[in-house]
A = this chain, B = another copy of it.
Amino acid sequence: MFAARTTIRLAAAALAWLAAGAACAAPAKAAQELPPKASLADVIKASKPSDWRPLDPENTIYMDLPTGRVVIELAPGFAPRTAANIRALVREKYFDDLFIIRSQDGFVVQWGDPDEEKPKPFKAAKTIQAEFTAPMASVGGFTRLKDGDVYAPQVGHVNGFPVARDPSSGRAWLAHCPAMVGVARDTGADTGNGSQLYVVTGHAPRHLDRNITVVGRVVSGMPLLSVQPRGLGAAGFYEKPEQRMPLRLVRMAADVPEAERSRFEVMRTDSATYQAAVEAQRNRGGPWAKFATGKIDLCNAPIPVREQK
């Protein structure tokens, strides 16, 4: 489920190393060696059940593609109106048999209705007042990352989502990290409604922060979206209908029979264990790592997810 993005090893060496465990790897030269240190996998292994929270079925969307299930967690604390409209769209089965319509390399994959001439009708709201930012006081407890940020005065996490905020304005917002889900819109700020959504597949386009409503995160299934062939039309839109992958079935988890639900848990980002998880990524231990910067970028801070079978 959660793949730590850590080292670049030779193929054969990686397999041997993973089989043997890092502690058994050949020692490097002493002068280049960092002290051993708990890895993210170690931290996850040592975590307690109380370090994790389940997904709320009323905030969880299953998007069942022909290739597998994508699971999206909505963040109504940051975008209550938009989250409610997306719930309404899902419940009127609006997304069923619509398509992935765009894949722009290093940027986003987008889905919705490709038909400009005869768009699929829906009963949910057509426009929603923009939710680009939210009051800091209303979004829940903020666990600040001490490492700083290029784009915002403060960054950290709220309830398992990457967040930036500006105390001078009193506003907080979901950051455009990979796997974050946002709401495509037209030129006007209030023209998004949730019927066309995108997910970040490349390096975090943080310039979009505060320019668009971000509404959730893909907690499982990113590889199904990120490998979509890149569109050859402007901005990565597909020009030929046959390039579009259908969204077979899109449902709120709450509307799916218990037996068919996925059982994901997200590590509580306000826990001491989460601090240890971030620290494991911030400074890698030896023997592979030779240098530790002691810093981590918001979008490199892991947000572990696991599935209870």
Contact = CB atoms under 8 A, between A and B. Distances in A.
Contact of A8 (B188, B212, B234): B212
A14 B101 CA distance: 12
A106 interface: yes
A23 to B, nearest CB: 12
Nearest to A237: B11
Number of copies: 2
B102 A297 contact: no
Contacts of A116: 11-12, 15
A228 B7 CA distance: 19
Nearest to A236: B3
A303 interface: no
Contacts of A102: 11
Interface string A283-309: 010011111110111011000000000
B300 A207 contact: yes
A108 B152 CA distance: 27
A209 B300 CA distance: 14
B17 A187 contact: yes
Contact of A105 (B26, B204, B222, B295): B222
Interface in A166-190: 177-179, 182, 184-189
A271 interface: no
B186 A10 contact: yes
7 contacts: A3-B105, A8-B184, A10-B184, A13-B187, A15-B237, A132-B291, A150-B150
Interface stretch (A45-53, A83-91, A135-143, A195-203): A195-203
A187 B152 CA distance: 37
B132 A211 contact: no
Interface in A136-173: 147-152
A235 B6 CA distance: 9
A237 B16 CA distance: 13
Contact of A187 (B26, B147, B235, B284): B26
A287 B296 CA distance: 34
A211 B8 CA distance: 10
A22 B34 CA distance: 52
A275 interface: no
